[in-house]
A = this chain, B = another copy of it.
């Protein structure tokens, strides 16, 4: 049964709002996703919210009604509330009509089946959650297996990362690992580790990408650390014709993944 809550000081509302904080997410193993479409796609991907909060006046909307049924069917809680409270929970002027609370899942390397896709994205020390979410979205579009985050990367379950992923957080494998453990795992099977670097003359279009290929990006400030660059099977460079000699890391990752996809597709269709 849908609960109706109109008080800002309600404990459930406060508990939802607290999930904007990373520490609280870690303690509870829960995270937030905003938006009716994203929550609905999550259900389709097998991730049913534990709790949803939605603007009471949208309860009769057929898609909202289906989402409520899915949440309640999964033993979760549906809360009809006010736009004002949703505004406070999301920090946005025009809050999405639905906010979902999800259980984070196990992101350990041992869950990864490297043969699930011929291409993967690996990122080291990623700082910006918007870049992380954008990279998940690119993984989805290019049919990659998922995103492997090494070392002190930002939280894939933050509100900003989930928002930028446009739902891809629910469809992509997400792994968090330390670099040495990842390299051990990688070398325990087939896999071509391709580092994006400016310190090479090898063009990114001049390499034949094996399956599976792991595209390896350094972080926003400093690129791939030397010990990781040294562990790659090949380093590739994208043309940098401008003055800045740099590209957004999510942009670089996308250009590389689309090149890998194009090559692998051409091979598989011949």
Q: Are A141 and B246 in contact (CB under 8 A)?
A: yes
Residue in B140, B164, B244 whose CB lies within 8 Å of A141:
B244
Chain B residues in 8 Å Cβ range of A244 = 41, 137, 140-141, 166-168, 171
A interface vs B, CB < 8 Å? 41, 44-45, 130, 134, 137-143, 164, 166-168, 171, 205, 238-248, 250-251, 254-255, 258, 261-262, 265
**Minimal Cβ-Cβ distance residue in B for A253:** B251
CB-CB under 8 A from A171, the residues of chain B are 242-244
Shortest Cβ distance from residue A139 to the other chain B in the assembled complex, whole angstroms? 8
Q: A238-B258, A255-B258, A258-B238 given as contacts; is B243 within 8 A of A134 (CB)?
A: no
CA separation between A166 and B248, bound complex, in Å? 9
A166 touches B246 (CB 8 A): yes
Residues of the B chain whose Cβ atoms lie less than 8 Å from the Cβ of A168: 242-244
Contact status A205-B254, CB under 8 Å? no
Kindly state the separation between the CA atoms of A240 and B240 in the bound complex, as whole angstroms.
Answer: 26
